[in-house]
Amino acid sequence: MTRDILAIASGLGAFLILHIGYIYLEVWITNAFWAMACLFFATPVLSGGVTGYLARRRPFLSLVVLGVAVAVCIGALRLLGSRLGIRTGVGGLSSSVTLGVFSLIFVLPMVVIGGAIGAFISRTRA
């Protein structure tokens, strides 16, 4: 069980590092829509891959927990964006909660897909 918690924490840490980098790039890069869209969708897939690779007992439950945590982090990072010195299009608590709920619809399947890939790689290497 502790190994799964460590897997969730590792996946969430990987997501936070990648998403904060994405937010800073979003401010600087204005003409690369497709590259930024691919980067936005790659961050939950990679974090799910980390969790899927490391989870042992209940990988699907770990991935669902990670997906919910990632959606909450997206809303929280956008809410705290002005305090971090980042210009964001989302303002206020209600907008951040709405962003978190809508990102749950897209992020959760991407985390599960990345986790399936990570679990497959983990099983083939064992």
Per-domain boundaries in the chain? 2-125
- 73 residue type, one letter: C
- The phi-psi region of residue 75 (left if phi > 0; otherwise alpha if psi is between -120 and 50; otherwise beta) is alpha
- 42 residue type, one letter: A
pLDDT per residue rounded down to tens, the chain (126 residues): 788 899 999 999 999 999 888 877 877 777 878 888 888 889 999 999 999 999 988 889 999 999 999 988 888 877 776 666 666 555 555 666 777 777 788 889 999 999 999 999 988 876
Long-range contacts of 120-125 (CB under 8 A, 24+ apart): 120/52, 121/49, 121/53, 122/52, 122/53, 122/54
